[in-house]
Amino acid sequence: MAVVFDKPSLLQRIAPIFQGFDVPLLFAIFLMAGAGLLTMYSVGFDHGTRFAMHARNMLIAVTLMFVVAQVPPQRLMSLALPMYTVGVALLLAVMWFGIQRKGAQRWLDVGVTVIQPSELMKIAMPLMLAWWFHRREGHLKPLDFLVAGILLLFPVALILKQPDLGTSLLVVSSGLFVIFFAGLSWKLILPPVLLGAVGIVALIALEPQMCAPGVDWQILHEYQRQRVCTLLDPSKDPLGKGFHIIQGMIAIGSGGVWGKGFMQGTQTHLEFIPERTTDFIYAAFSEEFGLVGTLLLMVGFIFLILRGLVIALEAPTQFSRLLAGAVTLNVFVYAFVNMGMVSGILPVVGVPLPFVSYGGTAMVTLGVGLGILMSVAKSKRLMQS
Note the pLDDT tens digit of each residue in 163-176: 888 888 889 999 99
Q: Residue 329: what pLDDT?
A: 93
Which parts of the chain have pLDDT scores under 50?
A: 1-2
Q: Residue 117: what pLDDT?
A: 85
Q: Residue 10: what pLDDT?
A: 63
Q: Residue 378: what pLDDT?
A: 87
Q: Residue 78: what pLDDT?
A: 92
pTM > 0.95: yes or no: no
Q: Residue 38: what pLDDT?
A: 92
Domain residue extents for the chain: 22-184+223-384
The number of CA neighbours under 13 Å toward the Cβ of 305 is 16
Over the stretch 282-338, which tens digit does the pLDDT of each residue have? 999 999 999 999 999 999 999 999 999 999 999 989 999 999 999 999 999 999 999
115 has which bridge partners?
Answer: 108
Q: How many CB atoms lie within 10 A of CB 102?
A: 5
Q: Residue 385: what pLDDT?
A: 58
Q: Residue 48: what pLDDT?
A: 67
d(CA 350, CA 292): 26
Q: Residue 75: what pLDDT?
A: 92
Is the Cβ–Cβ distance between 79 and 124 less than 8 Å? no
What lies within 8 Å, CB to CB, of 351 at 6+ separation is: 166, 169, 170, 279, 333, 334, 337, 338, 341
Helix (H, G, I), strand (E, B) or coil at 108: strand
Q: Residue 212: what pLDDT?
A: 78
